[in-house]
Amino acid sequence: MSASPYDHARTTGAVLAGTATDWAAQVTSVAIVELDDAGVVRSWNPGAERLKRYPADEVIGTSFSRFYRREDRERGRPARLLAAARTDGSVEDTGWRLRGDGTLFWAHVLITAVRDDDGEPAGFVKIVRDLSEAKRLDDEKDGFLRAFAHDLLSPITALRGYVDLLEDEIPEAQSGLLQHVSRVTDHIIAMAAELSAHVRGTDGDESEETDLLTLAREAAELVLPGDVNERVDVRGAGRAHVSTDRALLRRALANVIDNAAKYSEDTIVVSVSEEPDAAVVTVADSGRGIDSDDLASIFEPYHRGRLSDPGDGGTGVGLASVRDIARRLGGEASIESIRGTGTTVTLRLPPSQ
């Protein structure tokens, strides 16, 4: 398949006036605009006329800054983009742009600097794509998630209240089960609050001093309430501490332990240790393992190894979430596995200072 004009400009950056005109004139799906070194429009292809709704004779000879909102011009955004393209060879930017009729569209812009035969700056080629529909869909998704997170918190919070009322009503012999329900409810509330903060764009620092041994036991109890003591062996020499988001890290550990329980039947060993530059948690099982050909991509979203089975109930999201959480917390996740022998997942986290 031949490269698009967009890819051509990205990879070569060597499109000069007179050479761009022929193929640019045939392109209507994207705007292809040549600028001089000061950002004045030199050429205007049919795609630019369709997308930006300016006729060529109106825009050629004027500054490309006219396509930006007033607040962006006042902040010097057009000039900064040209400066970045001069320095780095090219620059990409996504944001609102103005059409000739005054309407806005959501644009992805690639600006590539070009030079003449003597290596002197000769201007820029700017390629613009309209991503308005993709942004509309993203905004709709964010709106749904925002409403869902809000509505989810109400019944879960009510459930937490009912659990509190029951604590004084049930026999002491059953109090352990109620405590487990309470912990799970708190975990779901924390997850719903995280989702709500994420879609509002207000993710904050929820770090607190955390004992990893205690957190590992809590994570195991979330996913293996009935047989956690028989299935999970939590070990640690000393008390490894980290300053971290407890709810987030507990979710990652719960995912790893849940995976180990799905793919093995023997004891799952959770080990906590301290190293000079990291606090380390490993989750090891002696299950079916992962094929060596799958290890390089096993953390990718929706990737399930060839040894997985539809009856396992997995979706291929869990390990991807674990790696994402580890990185958000300033650490890293890794995995070792031997087919038919077992799997060990390791989380390395910055230690408390």
pLDDT value, residue 104: 94
End-to-end CA distance of the chain: 54
pLDDT value, residue 308: 73
Across the chain, which distance is largest between two alpha carbons, in Å?
89
DSSP assignments along 177-205, one per residue: HHHHHHHHHHHHHHHHHHHHHHHHT----
Tally of CB atoms within 10 A around 15: 23
Residue 192 near residue 152 (C-beta atoms within 8 A): yes
CA 173 to chain centre: 45
CA-closest candidate to residue 347, choices 283, 300, 257, 295: 283
pLDDT value, residue 98: 93
d(CA 94, CA 99): 15
- Summarised one tens digit per residue, pLDDT across range 47-105 is 999 999 999 999 999 999 999 999 999 999 999 999 999 999 999 999 999 999 999 99
CA-closest candidate to residue 153, choices 196, 216, 182: 196
The length of the chain in residues reads 353
Question: Which stretches in the chain have pLDDT values below 50?
Answer: 1-20
pLDDT value, residue 224: 79
pLDDT value, residue 201: 63
pLDDT value, residue 5: 42
pLDDT value, residue 165: 74
Residue 217 near residue 231 (C-beta atoms within 8 A): no
pLDDT value, residue 184: 75
pLDDT value, residue 2: 44
Strand order in the sheet with 41-44: 41-44, 31-35, 121-130, 104-115, 90-98
pLDDT value, residue 341: 92
Alpha helix ranges (H) inside 201-295:
212-223, 228-231, 246-263
Say which DSSP state 25 is in.
T
